[in-house]
Amino acid sequence: MQMKGEKYSMEETIDLREYFAIIKKRFWVISLITIIAIVVSAGISFFVLKPVYQANSTLIVNTEKNEETQMITGDQFSVTQKLAVTYGEIIKSRAVINPVIKNLNLDETYDELVEKITISPVKDTQIISINVQDTNREKARDIVNEIPKVFTKEAKRITKANSVEVIDKAILPKEPVKPNKKMNIAIAAVLGLMIGLFVVCLIEYLDNKIKTPQDVEKQLGLPILGVIPNEAIER
């Protein structure tokens, strides 16, 4: 049992050495593919993709107090939280978005604008977060600030319920949120490395030429009786 284990360990070591030898022999292929991937990714990130800015604002759904106790009950707070989710859907309705487009004279359709808007009710609170992404940072800010103006009127008209107030108005974003150039380049480098390794392994797998005495034993299963050295004979 011990002899078999030692033999298996030696074969495994030899295989690993072969793999490292293959990688070393064709390392230039891996390096070339990785460099190409990095250059392409950097070119797209810096010169093709437009920077996208994000502006955000937060709203709070007011909770009506009990007229007798002037306190907020647990049921009222729960209802207000659910109402915040409902308001989130109303914000993305045509009744709100179309007036926003009209007020700001936007050259966009409802479907185009609603794709840029993200509404997120903050968990276990009465707060609604509004995010807008656009390649124009002033435009993103103006849209976020215009939505609450239109929505406040529509919310009262549609639900005839609690009022909504702005907590934080959107400010002009300074840095773009997309594309993440460093992340794109890092991902491209990893993908390039993986593709390079795959290509090298594929080339080696398709190469059936017998180059060494070990290849004779491995591929043909024949024992080696002798080796003729490839040396120049001086005359």
3-state secondary structure string across 148-208: HHHHHHHHHHHHCCCCEEEEECCCCCCCCCECCHHHHHHHHHHHHHHHHHHHHHHHHHHCC
Q: What angle do CA 144, 147, 149 make, to 5 degrees?
A: 120
Q: How many residues does the chain have?
A: 235
If you classify domain 53-168 with CATH, what class do you get?
alpha beta
- Provide CATH 3.30.70.1130 ranges for the chain: 53-168
Residue with tokens 């950097």: 42
pLDDT tens sequence for the chain (235 residues): 444 454 444 444 446 777 788 888 889 999 999 999 999 999 999 999 999 999 999 988 776 544 444 444 555 556 666 777 788 888 999 999 999 999 999 999 999 999 999 998 887 777 889 999 999 999 999 999 999 989 888 777 766 556 778 888 999 999 999 989 999 999 999 999 999 999 988 887 776 666 666 666 666 666 665 666 665 544 4
| Residues 6 or more apart whose Cβ sits within 8 Å of residue 98 | 110
